Structure 1
């Protein structure tokens, strides 16, 4: 007689997240390019943008190499937009799975954002390995602090994505608004410029953006000579805590209605 193995709720939850995670890997990398395209695509983009910036502003931007200046901006903004997109579509994408009572909407969101984080970590490792073997001038003065900023930005994007995913369950048109809001974020988050390039009287129009704070602070953590101005790690941490709390509160209140939609 077969033995029945009882699992705790946490174990069931972990198994569900892992199963959705594997499902996402298979769906994303089932072509010939696979994960290599997720690495090559941003790498080419960074090189092209860095070359264009160096042609206009020279090889150095605010006491750090232009390539590294662009690298931090691209990696952080790509993580933010990629995670936001994955989290905001996770519920709708995995809705058929919610017929199984073990699968809850938050499980799908966690699986997809962890997948996005893993992909970006691989991209970062490969990029810095290439930089090392190419003997390119690079400096990481405080890598733990940079990792902390990266984690905070990831939590912000997860929280915003969860809020949009919940809203889209009730109002499908919300995805159009999200798409409209995402486009300017690419240009307002400090990829192509530093806040130091902008006159101080206009800083108030830009420094509300926590992504810009994360990008500028990471540059300063890597190159102390960068001298970031107009940004605050306190503001970034405050945005992270507030958004995570608000997103979880929204989910706690509405998750049963989300399942019935």
Structure 2
């Protein structure tokens, strides 16, 4: 008789094997993990240069490069995790012939891989800041870590919803692409919420990424403030989408296997 402990060991082995498989397929060129660092660094540098022409060396008490770095890390954490998780069920479909491998294992593996990559990228970006002479102290590291974990759970939840929907309607992938493209301009990456008149804030604050970026900047610099954003909103919407995604998976995962 198979015990629950044996099932956990088997599940851990499946996730570890899937993790190695995903890691090898994601970085199978010469640069490997270097691309994960070079791409955001070059993009942050370009955006910082363009924003510097408009507003100078700092934005609401935050150094320009740090302002852009926080926004870009938040945006790419959401979009890369969403893309990887939403396609993980389809990518690993041949492996479902093995009884131990289930779609949720592929989803968790993809989410954990993207989380691990972003941790390494943030560490490398912090090292780059130190070498550039941009030293600073994080005002509230616990809040910053909590925000990153909330964003990770939110991204996996949204990705799982899209993965299930795409299993029944493949055209959902096109809708996902259309929805993610404007995020660069409506998520307070290039600008701050405080740059806009308050009457326009309701058109942006429905977006959880706005709250994440603004609160992450506040967690690093207390002088930035939290006007217009709410941690409670982030927690509530993350719980809602987590519950919705798990409910959809529980109802449909057997049908997903047969698609």
Q: TM-score range by the shorter chain?
A: over 0.9
What per-residue deviation string (whole Å, max 9, x for no partner) do you get for residues 14-60 of structure 1?
11111010001111112111111111111111111111111111001
Q: Deviations over 1:67-87 (max 9, x none)?
A: 111110000111000000011
Match of 2:45 among 41, 44, 47: 47
> Hey, what's the Cα distance between the residues in 1 that align with 2:26 and 2:86?
17
Give 5+ residue unaligned stretches, structure 2.
Answer: none
Matched, 1:19 2:25: no
RMSD: 1.2
**How many residues of Structure 1 are paired with residues of Structure 2 in the alignment?**
256
Structure 2: distance between partners of 1:39 and 1:63: 26
Q: Map 1:1-261 to 2 at 5 A.
A: 8-261=6-259
Q: What is the distance in 2 between the residues matched to 1:27 and 1:9?
A: 27
Deviation at 1:134, TM superposition (A): 2.4
What is the rounded CA distance, in whole Å, between the counterparts of 1:203 and 1:139 in structure 2?
29
SS of structure 2 residue aligned to 1:34:
coil
SS of structure 1 residue aligned to 2:182: helix
Q: List, as ranges, runs of 4+ consecutive aligned residues in structure 1 with deviation greater than 6 Å.
A: none
Bigger drift between 222-231 and 165-174 goes to 222-231
Q: CA–CA distance in 1 between the matches of 2:91 and 2:241?
A: 23
Distance (Å, rounded) in 1 between the aligned partners of 2:32 and 2:72: 21
TM-score, normalised with respect to structure 1: 0.95
